[in-house]
Chains A and B, each alone.
Chain A
Amino acid sequence: MSTSILQPLVGGETVVCDETVDLRGVDGVPVARVGVAPTLLLQLALRRVRGAAVPSEVFGRAGTLFAEAELAGESADEYRRRVVAATGLPYRVVGDGLHSVRNGLAQLEESNARQLPAPAPGVRWVPRGRTLGIVTPSNHVDPHLTWARALSLGYGVIVRPGTRDPFTPFRLAAALLAAGLPPHCLAVVPGDHQLGERLLDASDLGMVYGGPAAVNRWADHPRVLTRGPGRSTVLLDQHLSPDIVDALARSVAGDAGVRCANTSVIRTSGDPAEVADVLAARLDALPTLPADHPDAVLPSFSAEQAAQLRRTVAELEQAGFRRHSAADGPVPLPDGSCAARPVVLSTTDPGHPSVGTELPFPFVVVTPWSAADGLEPFGRTLALSVFSDDEQLPWPPSRSRRSGGSSSAGRRPGRAGRSCRTTAA
């Protein structure tokens, strides 16, 4: 595995920074060295970066290059392996991300058109600003489509990569530039937390992916969009059939359970302990494999992160949550990393403040719900999946939520599956 230095990219130029940090994999082995951009370099980027009208073919070409080509001396497979090593995402999940970003880029124009009101005479859509600053996450490849979309809408984009995954933004930037994006449209500036804050503050529009603290910091900022914990929920108002258990397992553990659209709460009109037992038995069957194994489906963490996650689960058990899964959190692997075994908990108290806890691996809490409770217990929910035969469920067909863009609570009687998905992680 190469230990090249990823240096900031401003307007197509690589700027060598003397200050660097070593990025270690979840097994503790260095994966790459990353340049640390000082504030002045961010200011240079803010001064130089501006948007342009970019032909949609550029994005289609970039998607193919991103998924397949050797870029900056790095093959697609080498890229996958480095992301896996640094983030602990399963190899297959990173591969799925590559392909979904490729498809997303190919369909950008069409999906933009769907999101804008229909064209009308004398109406022209213009960007709200010149620059978009974005602090990207390290938990998945898909969210990077967001800033490519901003480029396609005419913004200049400045990316501060997530600490564990600087690889994806650099690779996507290289693909876009190779495909013909004007260099002045883009900058990728790795740096410390404060650099991200300054970026969000100084850009015309900002986006930040992060935990509750990062999201709260920017929640009321009119120019900054936050993407934080999704607290995605399932409403289970049907008997458990094999199909439904499959769907529940997928919603909790699909994509290794790392996304904000993965279910973290199941509210059921049935017996929570029974639902939790059945689901735990299904999830306990998932194999414990290192993230770079082709069949891995669970995320890996460093020993330190794993200890923190186990502590969190232990605290929930001490708070009265009952554990149904065999594992109480990540378990050590021979290479020094830890595989995050699924954790299924239940509580009889649907109003417990810890219901909605979101952890970056397959983790879910099952709790009771009755029709009389209505919509109230769901609170802020990014994705709500409904399993019900009841046509009279008491809520409107769509509702906008601040926690992560809009989501709809659809009524799809009898349908086993999620009623909505978003591209946010």
Chain B
Amino acid sequence: MSGYDDSPTTCHLQEILQWHFSPETGSPFWLKRRDSLGFDPLRDVEDFADLRKFPDVSDELRTVPVDLLVPAGSADSPFEVYESGGTLGAPKRVVEHRSRQEGVDWVETVLPAFGDGGHWLHIGPTGPHIVGRSVRRLAQLRRAKFFTVDFDPRWVKLLIRTDRRPLADEYVQHVLDQVETIVESQDIRVLFVTPPVLEALCAREKLYRRLADRVTGIIWSGTSISSTSLRLLKTEFFPQAEVRGIYGNSLMGIAPQRSPEPGDTHPCVFRTFQPRSVVEVVDPDTGERVAPGERGRVLVHLLTKDLFLPNVMERDTAVRIASGLPRDGDDLADVQPFRPASGAQVIEGVY
């Protein structure tokens, strides 16, 4: 074998393939597939472009027993189970020990200081959704107390799917009632919140007044936001706060908005935790990577020791931003739900 690139991405990829496809360390889920792949993952995958050879197995995560996902090499480690939101059907399950936490540690270094004080309030899912644990860890890394409000995104999506939007609106008000109770007595400075809930928060005069001059940081995530809304948030509603977005999901991990760079034409550019989470923006019809600046479907490769998930087509589209070396994954801007010409309706809901 020759031609191995020695970039960090390629070295990391080879390490991960060795781990997941060696009988001593790999997971039953991948080992039992090895012979039916039609290629040898340890010989025929040289760099991450070759990951396209793998099938997209993410649909199986809806039903596979989680024990089969855990790599033999980590069998003694305490693994946790998390689930996706279930936007497009039954939730997908992932297992996680340390890989994603290390990603969160990196995210912490990317986010601004947010005024460096006060507590965090997470107005978002916890439970089976990994985002709750991730934001908790971010707050802890900042030495902040972490407040949460229970939030069930699947219930809201069900209400919207079944044409009960007034009830969904009522649920959001119920969430905000709890937020109000917390901020009345606690020194909340950083909010984790979804754009629809943040909009509803801005419409509640008393709650908004309480937070407008106090909040130093807002992390928005979970649904898309228009660039006009983002501008209004910064200039009109929370001029004192640093407003940053986080893109991501249960499969790919979280991709924070990176700091602005010269030449940026998009207000928010998201960067994944490379080389563990590599995304490509591809033409949905041909599968070819689109040119920088073009919109395409988000294709994710999760390359961690806890879980190997190559070639997963995400529900979203984004504008490709070149991140550096040609062999590296892409940065993303202007993420929007993918709207297929026909098929399932994507309901963003409030998370």
Taking Cβ atoms with an 8 Å cutoff, the residues of A that contact B are: 15-19, 37-41, 43-44, 46-47, 202
Contact = CB atoms under 8 A, between A and B. Distances in A.
A16 B227 CA distance: 11
Interface stretch (B5-13, B144-152, B228-236, B309-317): B228-236
Interface in B207-265: 226-229, 232-233, 236-237
Nearest to B229: A38
Contacts of B226: 17-19, 38
30 contacts: A15-B228, A16-B228, A17-B226, A17-B228, A18-B226, A18-B227, A18-B228, A19-B226, A19-B227, A37-B228, A38-B226, A38-B229, A38-B232, A39-B199, A39-B229, A40-B199, A40-B202, A40-B229, A40-B232, A40-B233, A40-B236, A40-B237, A41-B229, A41-B232, A43-B199, A43-B202, A43-B203, A44-B232, A47-B205, A202-B203
Given A39-B229, A41-B229, 10 more contacts: A17-B228, A40-B228, A40-B229, A40-B232, A40-B233, A43-B199, A43-B202, A43-B203, A44-B232, A44-B237
A193 to B, nearest CB: 12
Contact of B236 (A16, A37, A44, A202): A44
A47 B229 CA distance: 16
A18 to B, nearest CB: 5
A17 B229 CA distance: 9
B191 to A, nearest CB: 15
B228 A19 contact: yes
A244 to B, nearest CB: 49
Interface of B: 199, 202-203, 205, 226-229, 232-233, 236-237
B247 to A, nearest CB: 19
Contacts of A19: 226-228
A102 to B, nearest CB: 34
Q: Is the interface of B mostly helix, strand, loop or mixed?
A: helix
A37 B229 CA distance: 9
A100 to B, nearest CB: 36
Contacts of A43: 199, 202-203
B6 to A, nearest CB: 43
Contacts of A41: 228-229, 232
A131 to B, nearest CB: 13
Nearest to A39: B199
A316 to B, nearest CB: 29
| Of A15, A40, A202, most B-chain CB atoms within 10 Å | A40
A39 B199 CA distance: 7
A6 B298 CA distance: 33
B203 A38 contact: no
| Of B202, B226, B227, B233, most A-chain CB atoms within 10 Å | B226
Contacts of B202: 40, 43
Q: Nearest 5 CB-CB pairs, A to B?
A: A38-B229, A17-B228, A40-B232, A18-B227, A39-B199
Contacts of B228: 15-19, 37-38, 40-41
| Of B205, B226, B228, most A-chain CB atoms within 10 Å | B228
Contacts of B203: 43, 46, 202
A297 B104 CA distance: 68
A275 B77 CA distance: 89
Contacts of B199: 39-40, 43
Nearest to A38: B229
A19 B225 CA distance: 11
A19 B237 CA distance: 19
Contacts of B205: 47
A202 B205 CA distance: 12
B232 to A, nearest CB: 5
Nearest to A17: B228
Nearest to B237: A40
Contacts of B227: 18-19
A375 B211 CA distance: 59
A47 to B, nearest CB: 8
Contacts of B232: 38, 40-41, 44
A34 to B, nearest CB: 13
A18 B227 CA distance: 7
B245 to A, nearest CB: 15
Contacts of A15: 228
A16 B229 CA distance: 11
Nearest to B199: A39
Contacts of B229: 38-41
A47 B232 CA distance: 13
A40 B208 CA distance: 13
B224 to A, nearest CB: 11
A39 B29 CA distance: 46
| Of B203, B205, B233, B237, most A-chain CB atoms within 10 Å | B203
Contacts of A47: 205
A83 to B, nearest CB: 26
Nearest to B231: A18
A162 B233 CA distance: 27
A45 to B, nearest CB: 11
A18 B236 CA distance: 16
A18 B225 CA distance: 12
